[in-house]
């Protein structure tokens, strides 16, 4: 068996970290959550330099895993968590990040020299499409856009204010467009459309749906043609209750009136159904 490196991207707050957590249950596989520092990529050096940096990082990480038994990753308590955001909000009502860049100990993972390496970055990898998809296998995690918007409005991250720095640094048109939009929610909708448009244009057939792999985690492992988990991976629940109904009605109204690529990935009927579930649980 030959080793392979797979790059994972996706909508922010769509379950990309959970996907890494699940993929780490696959035999001879290591999935890393945002192990690189996007700010260290220099757009002025060009796309090829960025691709070379990713390839070099993958090679260096493989060597470090095999010789030192550790790998860089955003982590909590030495492991890739299911959720990188704290469960509770801080004063002011937003939930902060609850991970930091460090090393995870992989000595007990029994990774051989041909282990599968998965590297996940959302905005950075999406901004580097389509060149990235020509150089590596790339998959995108997607989720019902109403649930994504709801999460963006609950976290203490730049996306809450309608900005996505790691993408803006490589896409000047995105940065300029966001700078010209005064309303934060309108900026969020523009970002959501930007992500979806790039996945429609460059990753057709490589979409991995959150709603499917939370119900059947093994389906995510199978989609990437990775070895089966040594143990049964438990299903997770997709939380669609507990939202502020007034906020959700506002997000729903704005969402259904906007977008093009968004509706190529999820149908309006799927968004309507989620909104009805939220109303019923309010």
Q: Tell me the pLDDT tens digit for each residue of 49-84.
A: 999 999 999 999 999 999 999 999 999 999 999 999
pTM (two decimals): 0.95
Torsion of CA 70, 56, 134, 31, to 10 degrees: 10
Helix axes 245-256, 184-202, angle to 10 degrees: 50
Domain locations in the chain as residue ranges = 5-281
DSSP 12-24: TTSSHHHHHHHHT
Q: Tell me the pLDDT tens digit for each residue of 246-266.
A: 999 999 999 999 999 999 999
Q: Which residue has the tokens 């629940």?
A: 237
Query: What tokens does 235 get?
Result: 């299903």
Output the pLDDT for position 3. 56
DSSP secondary structure code for residue 136 in this structure: S
Q: Which residues contact 108 (CB under 8 A, 6 or more apart)?
A: none
Mean pLDDT to the nearest integer, 232-244? 74
Q: Please state, in angstroms and rounded to a whole number, the distance separating the CA atoms of residues 31 and 118.
A: 4
Q: Tell me the pLDDT tens digit for each residue of 13-38.
A: 999 999 999 999 999 999 999 999 99
* CATH code, 5-281: 3.40.50
**Sign of the C-alpha dihedral computed for residues 280, 257, 163 and 78 taken in this order:** positive
């Amino acid at each position: 068996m030959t080793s392979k490196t797979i790059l994972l991207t996706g909508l922010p707050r769509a379950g990309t970290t959970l996907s890494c957590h699940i993929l780490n249950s696959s035999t001879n596989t290591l999935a890393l959550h945002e192990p690189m520092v996007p700010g260290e990529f220099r757009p002025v050096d060009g796309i090829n330099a960025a691709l070379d940096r990713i390839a070099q990082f993958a090679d260096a990480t493989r060597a470090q895993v095999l010789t030192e038994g550790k790998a860089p990753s955003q982590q909590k308590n030495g492991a890739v968590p299911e959720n990188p955001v704290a469960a509770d909000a801080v004063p002011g009502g937003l939930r902060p990040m609850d991970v930091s860049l460090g090393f995870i100990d992989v000595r007990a993972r029994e990774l051989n020299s041909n282990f599968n390496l998965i590297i996940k970055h959302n905005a950075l990898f999406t901004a580097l499409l389509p060149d990235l998809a020509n150089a590596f296998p790339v998959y995108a995690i997607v989720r019902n856009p109403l649930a994504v918007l709801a999460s963006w409005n609950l976290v203490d991250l730049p996306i809450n204010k309608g900005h996505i720095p790691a993408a803006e640094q490589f896409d000047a048109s995105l940065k300029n467009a966001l700078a010209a939009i005064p309303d934060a929610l309108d900026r969020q909708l523009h970002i959501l459309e930007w992500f979806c448009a790039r996945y429609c244009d460059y990753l057709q057939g490589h979409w991995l749906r959150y709603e499917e792999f939370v119900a059947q985690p093994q389906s995510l492992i199978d989609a990437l043609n990775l070895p089966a988990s040594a143990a049964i991976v438990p299903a997770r629940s997709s939380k669609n209750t507990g939202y502020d109904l007034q906020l959700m009605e506002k997000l729903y109204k704005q969402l259904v009136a906007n977008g093009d690529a968004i509706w190529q990935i999820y149908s309006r009927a799927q968004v309507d159904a989620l909104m009805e579930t939220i109303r019923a649980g309010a």
